[in-house]
Structure 1
Amino acid sequence: MAIEYSKIVRLPVTPAVNGFSTDLVLPSAFSFGSGGGFINFYVGFGDYECGISTRNGESSWHWFANSGAVPGTDAGGAYGEFVNGDTVNISLQLLLSSGSNYVVKFYVNGVHRHSFSPTYSSTATFANGRVVLACAQGQWDSSASIPNPLPAFTIRHNQVKTFNTKYRNASGTWINVNSSNCTPGITHSPAGGTTPAPVDYSVSAASFGSGIYYASVKV
């Protein structure tokens, strides 16, 4: 098991869901220093995580679709599909596949990008519905000694904006996610020890009553 050197913002909801959607305004700029790494912005529920990503050595973004519980079903698009500053809608939903079988499908800007293979009933729901804004720079084996202080964290990106965020509940109703039903969490990994600046994401929830949330990694 690996421990990532990462910084994370989570916008979770408590009810079980079978759909999650948000609009993203991608950062106007990002950079990777000597530590390399990646930046992921995604919607998720259960073990499904799907969204928009970039990594060290790339100048643009692509979509990705992952499931930690179903090895071999991950997918992704080509870098260059999205560029800095783009507004992108990402949506993860349980939808009819064939007969009475339902599968989890991922859409980007309303276009179907990927379907996962496990089948469910029409009434299936999933825990841990969320939006995640994250970046990670390397990792350590869990049995290894974590350096203290940690090395410099060299990933930077300007503000990402998430808005028009909604989840679909067990009754099939889409519900707006805002400060009335969601408490964002800001974390970094590994915990403990001395973490050089920037320790966490810089965030602004001033407009979260209207469902708008901003986050950036900066000194």
Structure 2
Amino acid sequence: MPTSQPLSLLSDNLKALGLTSDTLFFALNFDFTPPDPEPKKKNKFKRLKQNQGAIDIDIACALYDDNCNITDLVWFKKLRDKVECVRHQGDSLNGKDRGHEAMYNAPLDQEQIRIYLDKIPAHINQIGLLASSYYEQAFGKVHAGEIHLSDDEGNRAFEVNLKQLPRDCNAIWVASLQREVDDWHLTVQNLPLSETDLQKAAQQVAHELARALPVPATARS
């Protein structure tokens, strides 16, 4: 992968970035904060308060058509899209529940979404890669962590250091993939979002994608 340009400006097709496979891994690893050792509470407010010491970061993949409408969202509440071209490998509540092999700097990702580009339906033109902090803590609260995109050959396109995101950032449009004639174009966005609910965050991304669409000639005349 090229290292001469800043991560926030990274924009190129996948082949140029060194990805050689049609199977991509959008993945998360972080050194979690241990949860509060208090006994469990029955009251919802107290349950949330209890979890203030824990950080649960979730990733999602949103599929958009030519008009930037959301056609599907793959996240911890929906692990597959309609045709199973995007597959979430399962929610990790704090990283620790994956076992020692999935801890930060270990061989396995704590949370991972697999994207099979050769199976993406023709009407899908854009793919949004998102991340959100479930309890709304800033990503920088983790001791260490990253979000990355690679192929199944181990080639990595980028990695985002969670500690280097804006101080109050708790939801982010990480990157987008746009269909080209014979490849997909990757753009790292690193754009903080105001919505931590992943469904609403995906809709925010839809608005941003729509704003970037070319204006039809009839509208300009």
TM range (shorter): 0.3 to 0.5
Report which of the two has the higher share of strand.
1
Identify which of structures 1 and 2 has the higher relative contact order when contacts are C-alpha pairs closer than 8 Å and 6+ apart. Answer: 1
Report which of the two has the higher share of helix.
2
